[in-house]
Structure 1
């Protein structure tokens, strides 16, 4: 793009000054403004660039806001009508079985590309959008049968794609801004409307507990997906995370197996299930000894094993939002999610913020010593033999292997694979003691 020579000369003559601008100079500057506008907005190439961003109407413009919202709803409704329903999916399965090319000795039904093309020609327009040549080529890459794809694989892919699209449309209905993300308020509304369809929750939840369940579920989404704490998460991130799948599993009754033990060992508990949410809420109530609905530092001392260091808890109450020095349920949820998921980037991010006393973005040997003093205090309380800090500091730096040998960043903790161990031995005595005695008494740190 070639700039106007007059504009280039004018820009080159600009100088930084702290003096006040006179009215005459300001008027002269405004007279030259059209020159700048002409040089920036009248370039021929601008006519070939389509508009790709539309600024949403401000909240004060009520009419435009309602019009945009109504247009968005109509669009989503049209998208929903184009999705395959259960009857159409059943018909697709029948058509797939009719076009099976061959069946293996293990009863695996396979289809070739020629028969796949024949199938494309007889299905309706809605099905044809899914049964593309690209899909067949994609599934063929992972097929164990040369030149063939399993019929069940095509059907399962179609069901999965339909489900994800329907889920995205459902979430988009609550996107008040219309920019592809949900705020906490939007996600809360979505969950409130979704709860009646979750049979595992609906049949055992008291109405008074609903707001606590919604709060717990929303906080889990935002803790893992809103890493920059912007107060919003993208709908595409919600779908890609798999968390929405876990939530939707609660629509169906759990599968019965021969024994309850087999069920527990075969799959991890659903974090959105009523027992999982109740466990967190009941823990909060049990810690709230004065029953004022908030947790003080003296009450939070008894969390978990009861060996979190006082230095670490001081930092928690310094960094977290509190009410007259006491923690509410939302802050407690962040605290629990971080300690229960120390191995994740999100958990390490939360804990690193507590460890980064001076907000420098890195930990030094002095920082480690500051937190280790809390561990040493507990060692004295439990009448344990003192441990040399220099040995612990050297072990930590050896585990992390930071780029700067004197500074440990959050990225270093994530990269080393030992971040969970490092933060645990700095904030919790029983984790430190388990690490210190792992040769004689192996445990998971």
Structure 2
């Protein structure tokens, strides 16, 4: 009897392979050998090529040969497929919107955090340690719990001797995440293709429908909506799409900070100075468009080379203006409002990588990918041409200017300046400005005489 039990145990311990699996695998291997085996190819070589294991696991090997998973799906073009995809996206977004925490949940979290503040208590700035915080998370709703993995507590920790985190920081983090998810959901509704990015027309629709909700845009006339939307959209695409792909990823829009500036216009008590500095404000957009109309002397809606030369009190060199029209998109040799906005954004933000890329492409005459002394001399001759008409006696020779430029940039190649060199040096905007803008050139040349005046003013302010 004992021997029978031992034999049964041995039989149970052996791996069971069904005859069906063995037969199917043998037939599959036989088929491949008949169709592909060469006279000099043995079974071991074939098994190695087919990745067939020597020691078994036939069932798993057979499973790997049955199907190659599809990793890319084309967007359907037929009406029924497109409609089905739209409905599926709508249901998906609706389900995701229900997972977003509400303002009531956030306020409830704040109350729980304050009730469970950790000792020693500080009424002005209550704090909470990790153990008390985890008890609060367990009491909160599942949506709140999903916002707080353990790493968040560690990220917000600021060397408190009792291992605590400020409750205000936790609450602000919650509100920020709530804003992020709400904004992402709102932008996703305008993603007409459903690929996670917005095209120019998508972003135009979003901003156009946003205008009536903006308190600071209440005085905007409806006839100006078209130009306002164009002005707002250009800032997004100039800075977030410098390679001109025609689309921007939704997370890039949310993380850039530009959407925050746009949504600030909902506030009723915004400061006038802040509105003046905000590109998306009614004041700023009106000022930019008014300046464009003032430059358009023939009132044809486009700017010629001579008209654009009057920009910024005619401080830009003629050589630079010629290169702008050679590189930018024009219509019959004239610039439209959209190209003008790119031009303005580049000159008003000269130290940003996107502006440096814009200006670099204009100054890279032969599209070589770098600037050599010949390119610098070409633009400096245009500067000399302007300086000769001004009451300035001393015009520094080009060699001096070239040496100063290369000293500021410190390029990797001593005779070439690349876009990367300009960005890394931190003074790229100044370097290009002294070659294209006579105002910037004069300020740079007289910097030593201007510093004492500036310091004197500062001393008088602090006295």
TM-score, normalised via structure 1 length? 0.83
Give structure 2 stretches of 5+ with no counterpart: 1-31, 39-49, 52-60, 455-463
Shift in Å at residue 350 of structure 1? 0.3
Q: 2:171 maps to which residue?
A: 155
- Note if 1:372 corresponds to 2:380: yes
Identify the structure with the greater helix proportion.
2
Shift in Å at residue 255 of structure 1? 4.7
Instruction: Single out whichever of 233-242 and 432-441 deviates more from structure 2.
Output: 432-441
Taking the aligned partners of 2:175 and 2:105, their CA distance within structure 1 comes to 11
Q: 1:131 maps to which residue?
A: 148
Taking the aligned partners of 1:111 and 1:413, their CA distance within structure 2 comes to 46
* C-alpha contact 1:143 1:150 (8 A) present in aligned 2: no
Taking the aligned partners of 2:343 and 2:269, their CA distance within structure 1 comes to 30
* C-alpha contact 1:83 1:166 (8 A) present in aligned 2: yes
Task: Give the 3 Å change call, closer, same or farther, for CA 44–307 of structure 1 in structure 2.
Answer: farther
Shift in Å at residue 88 of structure 1? 2.2
Task: Give the 3 Å change call, closer, same or farther, for CA 72–433 of structure 1 in structure 2.
Answer: same
Shift in Å at residue 334 of structure 1? 0.3
Taking the aligned partners of 1:309 and 1:45, their CA distance within structure 2 comes to 68
Q: 2:332 maps to which residue?
A: 324
Taking the aligned partners of 1:286 and 1:103, their CA distance within structure 2 comes to 65
SS in 2 for 1:272: coil
RMSD of aligned Cα (Å):
2.7
- Note if 1:115 corresponds to 2:124: no
Taking the aligned partners of 1:146 and 1:314, their CA distance within structure 2 comes to 65
Q: 2:195 maps to which residue?
A: 179
Taking the aligned partners of 1:43 and 1:223, their CA distance within structure 2 comes to 53
1:395 to 392, 399, 404: 404
* C-alpha contact 1:296 1:327 (8 A) present in aligned 2: yes
* C-alpha contact 1:187 1:218 (8 A) present in aligned 2: yes
Taking the aligned partners of 1:143 and 1:270, their CA distance within structure 2 comes to 36
- Note if 1:207 corresponds to 2:222: yes
2:422 to 413, 430, 435: 413
Alignment of 1:318-357 (within 5 A): 318-357=326-365
Instruction: Single out whichever of 345-354 and 397-406 deviates more from structure 2.
Output: 397-406
- Note if 1:431 corresponds to 2:440: yes
Pick the structure with greater CA Rg: 2
Q: 1:79 maps to which residue?
A: 96
Taking the aligned partners of 1:196 and 1:91, their CA distance within structure 2 comes to 31
Taking the aligned partners of 2:262 and 2:433, their CA distance within structure 1 comes to 30
1:275 to 283, 289, 298: 283
Shift in Å at residue 106 of structure 1? 5.6
Taking the aligned partners of 2:412 and 2:400, their CA distance within structure 1 comes to 20
